[in-house]
A and B are shown apart, each in its own frame.
Chain A
């Protein structure tokens, strides 16, 4: 059963910021909510979490109306928020008790998380005394400590150094192993590809792409060709009716209409005895799909 988002709509005046968004999470895993800035991701998350009332549609959990305030949800917001003047331990215990934990249980769980994220030494400090990265760790702890079944991570890795980004990723992997339902919103497509099975891509509130990530990629087929050779292949590419999309020291990239078109170019390179260094025919990356679906429509 899990989480079901059914046709939710949100309007501000004449502007529709979420336009009939629907998706389902029937089993644990990571679900990606993608879109450019202003696409309606954060509004959608707020509606799913019950912070904002939708103008239409509904969100259910196991078939019943879902209200985050009534079911513990872990939420790491894009714009981080902690009380700057209060001690970390005090505010984290507060957030845990708001989600139904008792104080003793909260303290015990928090000790585990402080150690897991290497921030035990900061627990008695005020939030304003912490670096941005450590504040982010505290927020992740606030989201995960109550052991919620549903976790919403809005740009979880933004602003982190590679070491801490890896630490966050390892924590996310652990949560996946514990069969959590995770909604992740990020502009880092590599991260999404690393974790997510299903995606929804929004553009100006409308769903422009939706489904299983592997299926979507397979649907596109192997249409991305990259070739690196020791001689000039541009003339050969023209003869195969291929247009260059990118030319870098790592090779020349083309969009191909079919695999046969790519094979034809390979045959011509071989026939002309041009030494070949790299020949890669692959499905488009999520980043390329994202730019194709959202990029040209968001030039403003």
Chain B
């Protein structure tokens, strides 16, 4: 009976809010940004890998490539230890044509000239490092550059480094034909026995997803909680509240408002996901997702994936498919497993409870002010709780990066605390559920803890809201509200 009329408050608040210009314009901007991010995330990797493959030189080329920008520059070589052979210098001559030289003047003179020239010039000095017996332990490439050549110096250093490495191997007896065979990368990874065997992309997702999710949820839950406070404070300070209270009880106003803003935030959240999914779908023919979907149709990959078992694992080589493509397929396959009905339901429940937790606190604060100017100061405890909760969810993930990327499933004590603490669990739990660092039983306990706190706050609201909503004068402090609830 105390909440009779909340439906009217709910529908009016909801409809009026979604009709505001700021909401419509804000959503259009957010949708455009989300769509752009999703399209770029989907298309860019494929586009970039395409441009990489087109830049591969011929077999005689030792991997040296230069940018268009650098092609106009001049290079002076001071090979003081004569590690580079004639062939290597010829390679440089082929790249830089007549702009490559081995000047007779001293390095100091050339460096002096570089100070004032407006041309793109780099002087490369190669020296050796030795031990106490004079044995060479390494080489040092130091490049002096004019200000115009600043952007290309690392690239040139890379070229010279590769030439030196190649020469060392050739000097050690490796034939030029076999040199290419030595140019393979070694990737390392670690997996705790019993943990998930993740590929590099999955490891990155495991690490980045909880942080991203915590920030996004914070934005929605915290922001719309603030909107509830502002809306209630506006009604109170504009005296509309007095008119409302002749028709409904204060609790109905709170419930109607909180649920309306909850629905707005919920819809906006799913609008973003919808726009993101649509953007991926539209850009799919040009992006990695379609590539992954195609790969997943490959019967050999399907067989390999089905044989991996519960603990995951890296599938072996499949004829005609590169390892990186297999990783994409494997990641896609694992990622789709995240969206189980249990996980989706859990995330929705946590979202709702988290929103209720923060917006009920915000509603109390909004009701405690008599002037809009006081609202910002009154919201300080709310901001403090929200931001601290988000940090509590965010930073332990950074400090646990190693475990998350290696997939051993372990969480540090602070991370564990963030799953159970009601001010951080709304931001920490969904990400943890998605990457599987929390067991279903612990999810249940965490949700229960959050639910208990939501009920406690609801009790406080029902006890003190009627007393503070018509209070005019000095702002009621947060501590006074708690004392008032305890007394009642």
Residue numbers of A with Cβ under 8 A of B are: 46, 49-53, 68-70, 72-73, 75, 77, 79-86, 90, 94-95, 97-99, 139, 142
Contacts and interface: CB of A to CB of B under 8 A. Distances in A.
Given A49-B246, A99-B247, A86 B8 contact: no
Contacts of A77: 239, 242-243
B245 interface: yes
A69 B247 contact: yes
A51 B246 contact: yes
Contacts, number: 71
Nearest to A154: B242
A83 B20 CA distance: 13
Given A69-B249, A142-B243, A83 B470 contact: no
Contacts of A46: 242, 470
B466 A53 contact: yes
16 contacts: A49-B246, A51-B242, A51-B470, A53-B466, A69-B5, A69-B247, A69-B248, A73-B246, A77-B243, A81-B239, A81-B240, A83-B240, A90-B12, A94-B8, A98-B8, A98-B247
Interface residues of B, number: 26
Given A51-B470, A69-B4, A81-B243, 14 more contacts: A46-B242, A46-B470, A52-B470, A69-B245, A69-B247, A81-B238, A81-B241, A83-B240, A90-B12, A94-B8, A98-B5, A98-B9, A98-B244, A98-B248
B238 A69 contact: no
B474 interface: no
Contacts of B466: 53
Contact of A83 (B238, B245, B249): B238
B112 to A, nearest CB: 69
B116 interface: no
B60 interface: no
B16 interface: yes
A85 B20 contact: yes
A49 B242 CA distance: 10
A230 B223 CA distance: 78
Contacts of A97: 8
A68 B20 CA distance: 31
B238 A90 contact: no
Interface string B216-257: 000000000000000000110011111111111100100000
A86 B238 CA distance: 13
Contacts of A49: 245-246
B359 to A, nearest CB: 20
Contacts of B240: 81-83
